[in-house]
Chains A and B, each alone.
Chain A
């Protein structure tokens, strides 16, 4: 798995001064590049496939969902970078959404306390996953699946199975409001994802985090406290899920009992579309966020096409399968096979 760490994408991220052009040329060859033109292409053809799908109102309806999915998928990316896969996403998102809508009982005065409880509950649940994985060697899939069941149980216990009250007005205003025409949810997601990207790419902590994920044994040999980094990753991911749940509650107003149910598979798909390898190591939270935008817009376009539901699902599945499949084509070998490859031999990436 160590070859992941030596990937060009990681290499350029080392905090040294490089010219923007060189950075761009190197970036184009990372696995995190493809999703950008793919997303641009999707937006370009959107109005052709479904009229009105690029209108202001359509974008305003789509962007908050993309932002919330991006936050969830950002957490998932960090877990994947540590060689895990987090199945507790639905429980985490649902629990935090239910807490911030039920605990305040419609009063803004109790909102801050509710947000703190939601963040704390998800951090605690993530800690349980993390300890089970790092201390007791339980497979991440099993540990997070178990924690998800615990969380779902907690949601039903807390609500007695009855949909919770509507979220307090302050949270609704926050989640559905706009700053300079941009939905607040998008602003919050962009800030948090920029922060995560900065920490992972530009700080020593971040480099150690990547090293711990790429090859735990090598990291231990290098004196990095791998377990602590992994544990910390789960907690940070838990906090991101909680943030997504809080915003979702505000945006949906009445989130119901299981609003997180819709986020598990899309979060994994966004990670893979973004180019982060499920084998762990290096990854890109920003590319994942673009993957989330791609998925949400794709969903919106096939809905807007008005095709039969079966056709919609087929189109969606095909495009995602295509997006993922293209990554596995050995492009270098293809280029070599072509007589007049555009890329000179010396610049081949692998």
Chain B
């Protein structure tokens, strides 16, 4: 190695140290971003206003509540049409349990139509691959695309190009960016603000309108958690004025949707606030981390509102006996919305009207106080989401790309 080269290497290493320092500050946020796409999007969610102009319901279409009750399942297959078409199915991440459930709902629904051929791909958490996958599908002549845009607005140009090429693009479970109608056909998702309101309502009732509550969100600044917090704040101030949101009305402590970070965040909150009566945590796996913080600090467990997960329900069952005040309410992981996204895409490509709603204000799928005990099945993987009503056979056959 020449002297100059050595000096250059040394400089580079010095630079690396600085980069590491600066990057560390951002790592929480950055890792949060990657985990948001990787946890397939629990992140998902989306801006409630973007989907406000819900398609007018056709007379035959089921309501949000009816669809929620059946996990989006429907006997009717008139939406299939009869023209042979090809539908692309894509997920920006596509390799975790959440994505498997998402593939399974979309693909099993599409499989009901004999005239629909499927092309399926996974982005693997890689934006460039995701964009080239979608461009490739368009080149292969797909008529419609059912897609989880894990990278959000970064995928908007690809969707716009596909739409201009005549492809019916239906995004779901993560906000696509761009404009509905011109850049993509429709966006199907839960209403994140309604999630917050549903959690707050349950918390208000459970605490009988009085107490200290904390709210833990995902990565700093993510619109999903911001909207949920907004829903929580509105509900509390409208109906439960004596409930104090300790973590503030504007911002939330971040968990990055990572159980380990959630555990640390909860530990810090427990140290800071000697009296916490309830917690709203916007992701089930984060809640599992938070539970460990309570145990580490030897604090009794409190009512918690969050999203569903098999292992969380099992934890609840295990800990409830020694923590009589522990209660659990969860919202669905919403993979079942994929069935509706699939129907919308095919119906549009077939020229058939689909009057089903796009934005879903979901209720609680589990409520330990309301007679819907959290469902625990130790034999199933810890991240199974029972609200999707997926058979093991469907998950096995359709929960993958090939």
**Which A residues are within 8 Å of any B CB, using their own CB?**
1, 50-53, 55, 57-58, 60-62, 65, 85, 156, 161-166, 176, 248, 251-259, 261-262, 265-266, 268-269, 272, 278-279, 295, 299-300, 303-304, 306, 308-310, 312-314, 316-318, 320-321, 323-324
Contacts and interface: CB of A to CB of B under 8 A. Distances in A.
A310 B28 CA distance: 11
A306 B96 contact: no
Nearest to B309: A163
Given A57-B297, A65-B264, A314 B25 contact: yes
Contact of A303 (B18, B100, B253): B253
Contact of B34 (A161, A261, A269, A313): A261
18 contacts: A50-B268, A50-B272, A61-B264, A61-B297, A161-B95, A163-B311, A166-B311, A254-B285, A255-B260, A256-B285, A257-B96, A258-B38, A261-B35, A268-B20, A279-B13, A309-B252, A309-B254, A317-B26
Nearest to B250: A308
B241 interface: no
Q: Across chains A and B, which 4 residue pairs bring their CB atoms closest together, nearest first?
A: A317-B25, A61-B267, A309-B220, A58-B271
Contacts of B272: 50-53, 304, 306
A254 B22 contact: no
A207 to B, nearest CB: 23
A62 B264 CA distance: 7
Nearest to A268: B20
Interface residues on B, range: 35 or more
B129 interface: no
Interface stretch (B138-146, B205-213, B286-294): B286-294
Interface in B366-402: 381-383
Contacts of A317: 21-22, 24-26
B389 to A, nearest CB: 18
A155 B254 CA distance: 26
Contact of B24 (A53, A55, A269): A269
A300 B268 contact: yes
Contacts of B96: 161-163, 257
Contact of A61 (B251, B271, B383): B271
A265 B23 contact: yes
A266 B24 contact: yes
B219 to A, nearest CB: 8
B25 A303 contact: no
Contacts of A60: 296-297
Interface in B336-353: none
B25 A53 contact: no
Interface string B262-274: 0111011111111
Contact of B21 (A50, A52, A320): A320
A308 B253 CA distance: 8
B267 A258 contact: no
Contacts of A53: 268, 271-272
B20 A269 contact: yes
A284 to B, nearest CB: 16
A266 B259 CA distance: 18
Contact of B292 (A162, A252, A321, A323): A252
B31 interface: yes
Interface of B: 6, 10, 13-14, 16-18, 20-29, 31, 34-35, 38, 95-97, 99-100, 220-221, 247-248, 250-254, 258-261, 263-265, 267-274, 285, 288-289, 292-293, 295-299, 311, 381-383
Among B6, B38, B259, B295, find the residue whose CB has the most chain A CB atoms closer than 10 A: B259
Given A313-B29, A314-B25, A317-B25, A304 B13 contact: no
B270 to A, nearest CB: 6
Contacts of B299: 57
Given A278-B16, A278-B17, A313-B26, A165 B382 contact: yes
Contacts of B24: 265-266, 268-269, 295, 316-317, 320
Given A58-B268, A279-B10, A309-B251, A262 B31 contact: yes
Contacts of A266: 24, 27
Contacts of B263: 61, 252
Q: Among the interface residues A51, A55, A248, A256, which one has the most CB atoms of the partner chain B within 10 A?
A: A256
Contacts of B220: 309-310, 312-313
Q: Interface centre among B13, B18, B220, B267, by most A CB within 10 Å?
A: B267
A35 to B, nearest CB: 14
Contacts of B383: 162-163
A271 B336 CA distance: 46
Nearest to B20: A268
Contacts of B251: 308-309
A327 B75 CA distance: 70
Contacts of A314: 25
A316 B23 CA distance: 11
A254 B13 CA distance: 36
A272 B19 CA distance: 11
A272 B260 contact: no
A40 B18 CA distance: 24
A161 B25 contact: no
Nearest to B253: A303
Contacts of A248: 260
